[in-house]
Amino acid sequence: MTMDSADVAVESTHKKPNYMAVFVGLAVLTLVEVGVAFLGLGRVTTILVLVGLAVWKAVLVALYYMHLRFEPPRLIIMVVAPLPLAFILVLAVLTEF
């Protein structure tokens, strides 16, 4: 596969993320999730905090391990566009009972 000059320019400006720092951040968020689970907060509060932390972790994984942070905006739009539909479908299933 050959690379043209535009690909080389993008390749040279692309900084490698600090994967260990992201990993440590994910590990800390996981420890916070375990701590929240054992705090004895109300059910709704616990669920909301855990879902918020899970979304935060998913964003970190998508940005750094899936390299979306370094992609052009049109690709990011393609990834983010289906999220409202997924939210609506999950909400519909949760409110079904």
DSSP code of residue 96 = -
Q: Are residues 22 and 40 in the same domain?
A: yes
Q: What are phi and psi of 3, to 5 degrees?
A: -115, 135
Low-confidence ranges of the chain (pLDDT < 50): 1
Which residues constitute the domain of residue 47? 17-66
User: Is residue 1 in a domain?
Assistant: no
User: Is residue 4 in a domain?
Assistant: no
What local confidence, expressed as pLDDT, does residue 24 receive?
Answer: 95
pTM: 0.67
- CA–CA separation, 65 and 59 (whole Å): 10
Residue 33 · residue 53 · CB < 8 Å: yes
Q: Are residues 52 and 90 in the same domain?
A: no
User: Is residue 9 in a domain?
Assistant: no
- What domain count does the chain have? 2
